């Protein structure tokens, strides 16, 4: 599992690099989107959008998405390290990688449905990135499957936590059942006591008549 997710992380780094290269090669599409965004923002003020502003917006969006991707990769690397190290933090690392494995699997499906945003990037680069994303998805899903095995959950301590939770729930059910029986017994005793009192009161009423 650790090796699969480590390989997935390495392939994801390659994907982000290829994605950055393809984005820079498709500058016409990038600047067209930046122009549309700038014109919509400046529509109310009536100001003209300069080419320099479009470049700033375009490259700024690329920089922002790259930094965000880098942060995600670093977080995944840290979680993988915690998972490899073991201990209480290993469960957090497994759960986070479980969530991102689902994301990678879903993104792999989009590879077969999506079409390139522009045609300025070489076909071999687009195909290579697509193959890379498929490998990322396959590795993530395989790691996900192994992460659900009992020995993995035992390694991360989650299996012991689930056992404790089951014991606590069972204890809580037993306590509720005991309280219910105690309440029923109490109500039965009160009912019997009331019946005795009613019977005694009826007997006392009949004696003077005699």
pLDDT tens-place string over residues 149-185: 888 888 877 777 778 888 888 888 888 888 888 888 8
d(CA 32, CA 175): 67
User: Using one digit for the tens of pLDDT, what is the confidence trace for 58-69?
Assistant: 888 889 999 999
What is the Rg, in whole angstroms, of the alpha carbon atoms belonging to the chain?
Answer: 33
Give the whole-angstrom CA distance, residue 23 versus residue 58. Answer: 10
Classify residue 209: in a domain, yes or no: no
Phi, psi values for residue 90, rounded to 5°: -65, -35
* Residues 57 and 92 occupy one common structural domain: yes
The whole-chain average pLDDT of the chain stands at: 83
Instruction: Judge if 30 and 79 occupy the same domain.
Output: yes
The residues, ordered by sequence, that sit 6+ positions from 15 with a Cβ below 8 Å of its Cβ are: 129, 132, 133, 136
**Predicted confidence (pLDDT) at residue 133 exceeds the cutoff of 70:** yes
Distance CA 187, CA 62 (A): 73
Residues 152 and 52 in one domain: yes
In a domain, residue 210? The reply is no
**148 DSSP assignment:** T
> Is residue 193 assigned to a domain?
yes
**In a shared domain, residues 152 and 191:** no
Total count of domains within the chain = 2
pTM tops 0.75, yes or no: no
Query: Residues 184, 147: one domain?
Result: no
The pLDDT tens digits for 11-55 are 999 999 998 988 888 888 777 877 777 777 667 666 677 778 788
- Domain membership of residue 179 as a residue range: 159-201
For residues 181 and 101, membership in a common domain is answered with no
């Amino acid at each position: 599992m650790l090796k699969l997710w480590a390989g997935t992380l390495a392939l994801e780094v390659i994907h982000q690099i290829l994605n950055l290269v393809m984005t820079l090669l498709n500058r016409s599409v990038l600047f067209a989107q930046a122009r549309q965004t700038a014109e919509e923002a400046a529509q109310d003020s009536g100001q003209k959008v300069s080419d320099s502003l479009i470049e700033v917006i375009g490259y700024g969006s690329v920089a922002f998405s790259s930094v965000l991707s880098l942060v995600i990769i670093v977080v995944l690397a840290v979680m993988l390290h915690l998972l490899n190290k073991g201990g209480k933090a290993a469960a957090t690392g497994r759960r986070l990688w479980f969530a991102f494995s689902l994301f990678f699997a879903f993104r792999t499906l989009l590879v077969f449905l999506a079409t390139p945003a522009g045609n300025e990037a070489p076909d071999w680069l687009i195909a290579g990135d697509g193959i890379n994303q498929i490998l990322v998805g396959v590795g993530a899903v395989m790691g996900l499957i192994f992460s659900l095995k009992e020995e993995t959950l035992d390694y991360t301590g989650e299996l012991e936590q689930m056992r404790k939770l089951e014991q606590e729930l069972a204890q809580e059910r037993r306590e509720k059942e005991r309280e219910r029986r105690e309440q029923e017994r109490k109500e039965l005793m009160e009912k019997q006591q009331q019946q005795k009192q009613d019977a005694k009161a009826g007997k006392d009423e009949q004696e003077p008549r005699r």
